[in-house]
Structures are given as C-alpha cells and as structure tokens.
Amino acid sequence: MEKIIKNGKLVTDSEIFDADILIRDEKIVAVGKEFNESNAEIIDASGKLVLPGGVDAHVHLDLPMPGTVSSDDHYTGTKAAAFGGTTTVIDFANHDLPSLIDSFNVWQEKALPNVAIDYGIHQNFTRFNENTLKEIPLLPKMGVTSIKMFTAYNGRMRLQDGEIFQAMRVAKDEGIISLVHAENGDLIDLLVAEALAAGHTAPVWQARTRPAWGAVESGFRVAALSFSAGKAPLYIVHMNVKEEADMLLYARENGLPIFGETCPQYLLFSEKNLEQPDGAKWVCSPPMRSEKDNEGLWEALADGIIDVVSTDHCPFLFDGTKPILYEGKPYQQPGKELGKDDFSKIPCGLPGVGDRMPVLWTKGVNEGRISPTRFVQLTCTNPAKIFGIYPQKGALLPGSDADLAIWDPNKIVSYGVKIAKHRTDYNLYEGTELKGFPEKVFLRGSLIVDGDNWLGKRGGGHFLKRSRFLG
C-alpha cells in the first residue's frame, strides 16, 4: 500500500523545503517530486507543513501515587499525544520489585496491550544493591538504554551520591544514558516539615519548599559524579531554573556528554500560578519557578544549551470527587483535592503530552523565540537521537518510520480541556489562542488522527527497542 503526501512544505531539524513524501506500508521510501506511483493514495498537503511525528521523551502513564493513580493510562495518554502531533513517547517503569528486570517486565505487561502510538521505556533505578547493580547490563537486550535516578524523594526513590556514581559507571560501559531528577531531597524534606508545622497548607508552599538552588546544585553535583564515572552520559530531566542551564553549559564545555530537557510549564508559568485559588492544577515537581527562569530557559532553548522539550505528563483530576466522561463512559479517580488541607498531599503532576507541540509552536515559533527547524530539533529529532531511535523516529528520511504530522500553520484554536484529549477535567492553557495545529497525524503510514476524528486504536503502538548511547 502506497501513499503520497503531496505539495506540502517539509520542516526537518535542518531545513524547510517543498517536497512530496512517498510512503510504502509503514516506511518513508522517498522524499522528492513527481512520483508516478499510479495506485498510490494521494494526500494533498497544499498550504500545509509536514513535520516528523513528535517524540515526547518524558511521560508517566498509569502511574500509581499515594491514594490514587495518574488519570491517563497507556491508552488515553497516547491517544492524547497523537492529537497533539506526537507519535512516540518514552514512559518510565517504576522499580517496584526487588529485581530491576522483573520491574520492567511488569510495567511492559501493563503498557504493551494499551498503547496507541509507539513507545519506549526508561527504567527507574531506585533500589540500589549488589544485585540490582548487576542487572543494569541486562537492560539493553530488552531495548532499554536509559536508567533514571533521583537526588530527591528521600526514603522512597532517592539514591545517595556514591550509589548514583556506581550506577553511572556501570551504565556508561553498557552504552546506557543516565537520567537524573535533580533536586535537593534533604532541603525539601526539612522545609516541607517546617512549613506544615507553621500551618502553611496552601499549594504555593509546594514551590516555596523546593528551593531553586537545590535544583541547580543537584544538577551540577550529578554532573560531577558523571565526570568522576569517566564521563558517563547524563541527561538532566525537566530543567526548571535558569542557572541549571548555566551549569549544564559549563559541564558540556568541559567535555561531558550531558543533555538537558525542559517542559512547556517551566517556560510559561511561575510560582504566581500556584497562588491562584486553583493553584493545585500547577503542582508538579520540580515546581513552577520565576519569570526570570522562564526567560532564561527560553534563551537556553534558542541558544542550543537545552536539547529537548518534553512534558513530564502525569495528570490528575482537579476535582476527583466528580466523574468525567471519557469516550462516553464515566471516569473518576481521586485527584488534586487530596491536598486541599495539605500541599504536600497534592498529587504531583499535570497534563501536557497533547499540548506540547501546538503550545510550543504558538509560544515559541510564532512569537519568534525559536525557528521552525529548532522546533523540530527540540520536539522530534534530538530526543530520538539521544535515546537511540533515530532515524527510525524524529526524521523525514527514506527508511524512517512514516510518522508525521500534516501541520496547519494558520489554524487558530481556542484551546482548552474540550480540545485537548487528556483524560482529565482541566487544561493549563484554558482559553489560550493557539495558531498552528496538527490536521492529520500518521503513525507508521496509518492515519490515526484526522482533524477531530480518532482512527488509532488501543494496542496499535509498538514497543521500541532502543539502541545504545554511542556519544
């Protein structure tokens, strides 16, 4: 079965040009002009852009949290992603069982039957011991070439510096990149206890008890550990403070293979949003910072310091006491109201996987902060390269999977919860006018989103066995 996407303007990580795309079955077979495959289905993209399908390298689907579970599972979250132009996500497997490999397998059983787009898995490494350390080298055979560690969440997921160092050293030898959530766990625990003891229960205290400098020093500290581990490849997730980007640049200029990610919420919101009556909607960790940080992070994106924009998608209902309708059926789960009397009990996380590309296009490209090619680097190509799925994903090249979005740069949408397809009851961009929106989205040659119509299916996604990090 052949398809030709005709008359579109292609946007890749390096150029913008008029070309047609010939698709055979699941792959792009040629990019050029005047294909004369007479039996091919013709899809007219006149006046439209054609982008690679988005790659969101940081999502949490069906993630259990105290007293609840995140409201998008592997089906609803990947469907929402597709509507926003994203055709690949990388989810995180909890390290719930003593064995790292058993933990991966359990997560995989939950994900694979449900995903509607292609996906990979980062493996959390949160139980450090002799046995789990020995399991790290087994991961690449299972298609997992990244581990995730934490310098916060004391007593739950945090590892000590020496433990992170040892894991990085093993990971480096296997071509596995280490991802780190960098905040200062000791400071956070102390400040949260003090705030609650003083009677501070409102959402804004979630931000006030997670110091920005704790994020900066933790990121720099793990860069130091990575140097000490022989320049182990390192990826700092969800950078949220301007000075984190300064530290990243310093480490990179000194020869460390280090990469940085931020998320739209850290570019567009600040602690002020947490002061609103509905501030719990913005509670995620790390927290919203300052407007100075927003600007600093935009600059770091434009300057090539930060490499990736992903979402840390992990939504909850704002009001979990009431059901919502999803695909015509009621859905209900405890949500942000769990923290109405105690900010530390607000489930941490927010919706974003479907918002990412249209929001970043409007706020980044239309407002002149980043170019269209930089947009493609940040949302498609860089994450695919860093995480071992390029050029299968993140590119419009012969041999790439035919994952693409036909993008209407002139479509104006009054965005919000009714347009976004996340399974939750709110959207952070409610009422925001977006210009530029995906019109059709293809996954491996199949049309899965056509305007407002969902043509994808549960279980239609493939697990991506990712290549090792080669530097």
Contact (Cβ atoms closer than 8 angstroms) between residue 310 and residue 263: yes
β-sheet bridge partners, residue 5 = 21, 43
Does 312 interact with Mn ion (rule: CB under 5 A)? Answer: yes
CA-nearest of 351, 65, 10, 289 to 298 is 289
- State how far the Cα of 371 lies from the Cα of 250, in Å rounded to an integer: 25
Minimum Å gap between C-beta 131 and Mn ion is 25
* Closer residue to Mn ion (CB): 62 or 312: 312
* Closest approach of Mn ion to the CB of residue 238, in Å: 6
Of the two residues 122 and 421, which places its CB atom closer to Mn ion in the complex? 122
b/e burial code for range 275-292 (CB count within 10 A of at least 16 → b): eeeebbbbbbbbbbbbee
| 181 binding Mn ion? (CB under 5 A) | yes
Per-residue tokens: 167: 């894991």
Residue 18, both tokens: 């008029």
The 124-163 contact track toward Mn ion, x by CB under 5 A, reads ----------------------------------------
- Smaller CB distance to Mn ion: residue 370 or 386? 386
Binding-residue total with Mn ion (CB under 5 A): 2
Tell me the pairing of strands 404-414 and 433-443.
Answer: antiparallel
CB of 438 to Mn ion, least distance (A): 24
| 271 vs 403, beta carbon nearer Mn ion | 271
Nearest to 461 by CA among 76, 141, 124: 76
Q: Map the footprint of Mn ion across residues 245-284, applying CB under 5 A.
A: none
Residue 397 CB, shortest distance to Mn ion, in Å, is 30
Q: Which stretch binds Mn ion (CB under 5 A): 96-104, 187-195, 212-220, 304-312?
A: 304-312
* CB of 60 vs Mn ion, minimal distance in Å: 6
Do strands 404-414 and 446-450 pair parallel, antiparallel, or not at all (unpaired)? Answer: unpaired
End-to-end CA distance of the chain: 37
Among 41-49, 181-189, 191-199, 423-431, the segment contacting Mn ion (CB under 5 A): 181-189
* H or E element, residue 123: strand 118-124
Q: Which is nearer to Mn ion, 226 or 265 (CB)?
A: 265
Please, which residues bridge with residue 435 across strands?
412
Shortest Cβ 363–Mn ion spacing (Å): 21
* Chain contacts with Mn ion (rule: CB under 5 A): 181, 312
